[in-house]
Amino acid sequence: MKSLSPFFAAVFGFAFTTFAAQPAKSDARVFKAGAATSNITPALGGLIVGGWSPIPAKDIHDELHARCLALDDGTTRLVFVVVDSVSVNREVFDEAKRMATEATGLPREAMMMSATHTHSATSARGSNPFAASSTAPNRGKAPANVNLDDYQSFLARRIADGVSRALNNLEPAQIGWGSGQVPQHVFNRRWLLKDGKTAINPFGGQDRAVMNPGNRTDLLKPAGPTNPQVYFLSVQSTSGRPIALLANYWLHYVGGVGGAQISADYFGAFCDRIQELLGADRQNPPFVGIMANGPCGDVNNINFAARDTTKRQPYEKIRLVANDVAQEIVRARKTIEHRDWVELKSAQAELTLKMRRPTPDLIKWAEGVVARPKTASPVHAHEATYARRTLDAKDWPETVDIVLQAYRIGDLGIAAIPFETFTETGLEIRAKSPFKDTFTIELANGGYGYLPTPEQHELGGYETWLGTNRVEKEATRKIVARMMELFAQVQRKAGAATE
């Protein structure tokens, strides 16, 4: 494998490499796949994150998992890991990769790890995800003594175990992919206001876009698009027994859970339902359903244009969404071809982005808010929260190095981005991709908050606020451009020169 020279890495702030690794070459082309799960359910009492105020977990509605899929074309092995968590810090994923590499020899660049974004799990981001150490780890070097808390260490170990077990389960297989349409559960949650109206934000400024606007009567239109498609990658044994199915749907999460309960949200419910619909219960090795989240930082399942007033029981909506997505995939899966062999390739890049930093005036404002008595009337309901986040942000480093990753599976391209990415960015990647089929996995190989486009930054709103968003406003343009370079790398056929 070859990398760009140190000169170019220094000039452009990145280095990328293509990887075709691991199994010894053979004249007979045999495609293999294997899958496994690791239970990552935390202990009760940990704080459930996802809402404004974390609450201690009092019960477990359904277990959390790291779901793993390994693919092998006889020359290259690739692994997917999808974790039931709101977000996972890069240093946790890097530690899991280090342990998996040590155990299996698989290069860390051949592992794509992501979080689902369930809002009903305890934190894998440390005690304060807005602190400098959680925001910009040291290039993800992940030494053996990396400073992780107890749950982060447990999670890294369980992910590494899952990778090993998926590789152990490799068997001759067939692979296929496709997509379906599930438009009824995706709605852009950011709305523009009528007649140039604005809404005050926690910093005292005025926003033209509002997240989750409730029953406001001055809504003009959604501020961005949605993607109705659900993508899927299906692997089965040569006899037709389902091994695993990896889906990708661009929906933030569903919610409607039963109080302080641990849950994998619709992501986990989908995995159970797709197993049932495919008749894959109680297999050996077990079938593994996987739902990876796509670019949905501005999307949820609430239609603010025509609010649904139906009273639902806890988890009812989760099951509804999971069933609809699974049913559509089962329908579409019947129309695809499962192939005996496809080529696998991967490429990875380190991209340096500038961090957003508060101005002296903003720091002064934040200090004043924090010093005010609790009886003082706030300008905004979340004023104190963002004052604290602003003070955390003043200690952020100047830049952060993120991992971008691309996989090629035959003529399918898969992008991986470590942010809560807006749907329009995912659609831009798909439109510019050189591959016939393309989808994007978000919150992959780390998590750095929301990723609005420059145009969405101009509109304001929750996802653009400092603390919710952490990197430069031009970040999406740099990420899309670099992703196209990675796609060009993996597009090259076997035997072509690599950079």
pLDDT-derived band of residue 241, with 50, 70 and 90 as boundaries? very high
* 143 pLDDT higher than 60: no
CB proximity list for 210: less than 8 A, separation 6 or greater: 190, 191, 193, 199, 216, 219, 461
pLDDT-derived band of residue 259, with 50, 70 and 90 as boundaries? confident
Which residues, listed in sequence order, are joined to residue 56 by a DSSP beta bridge?
47
Q: Over range 98-124, report the average pLDDT.
A: 96
Which residue reads 């609005």 in tokens? Answer: 452
User: How far is residue 466's CA from residue 203's CA, in Å, rounded to a whole number?
Assistant: 9
Q: Is residue 208 part of a domain?
A: no
Q: Is residue 204 part of a domain?
A: no
Q: Which two tokens stand for residue 316?
A: 């009812």
- Confidence (pLDDT) at 495: 42
- Confidence (pLDDT) at 493: 58
pLDDT-derived band of residue 314, with 50, 70 and 90 as boundaries? very high
Q: What percent of the chain has pLDDT over 90?
A: 84
Q: Is residue 418 part of a domain?
A: yes
Q: Phi then psi for 167, rounded to 5 degrees?
A: -65, -35
Q: Is residue 436 part of a domain?
A: yes
Four-residue CA torsion sign, 350, 453, 119, 245:
negative
CB 60 within 8 A of CB 44: yes
- Confidence (pLDDT) at 198: 97
* 19 pLDDT higher than 50: no
- Confidence (pLDDT) at 156: 98
- Confidence (pLDDT) at 18: 46
Q: Over range 476-496, report the average pLDDT.
A: 87
Q: Is residue 240 part of a domain?
A: yes
Between 306 and 183, the higher pLDDT residue: 183
* 135 pLDDT higher than 90: no
* 154 pLDDT higher than 90: yes
Per the prediction, the chain carries an average pLDDT of 91
- Domain range enclosing 30: 6-191+218-357+396-491
Q: Is residue 108 part of a domain?
A: yes
Between 375 and 42, the higher pLDDT residue: 42
* 221 pLDDT higher than 70: yes
* 85 pLDDT higher than 50: yes
* 20 pLDDT higher than 70: no
pLDDT-derived band of residue 134, with 50, 70 and 90 as boundaries? low
- Confidence (pLDDT) at 128: 72
CB 38 within 8 A of CB 113: no
- Confidence (pLDDT) at 52: 82
Q: Is residue 440 part of a domain?
A: yes
* 370 pLDDT higher than 90: yes
Q: Which two tokens stand for residue 181?
A: 């349409």
Q: Over range 427-456, report the average pLDDT.
A: 97
Q: Is residue 383 part of a domain?
A: no
- Say how many domains are in the chain: 1
pLDDT-derived band of residue 26, with 50, 70 and 90 as boundaries? low
- Confidence (pLDDT) at 144: 46
Q: What is the pLDDT of residues 40-61, one digit of tens each?
A: 999 999 999 988 888 999 999 9
pLDDT-derived band of residue 17, with 50, 70 and 90 as boundaries? very low
Q: Which two tokens stand for residue 423?
A: 């749907």
* 475 pLDDT higher than 80: yes
- Confidence (pLDDT) at 25: 54
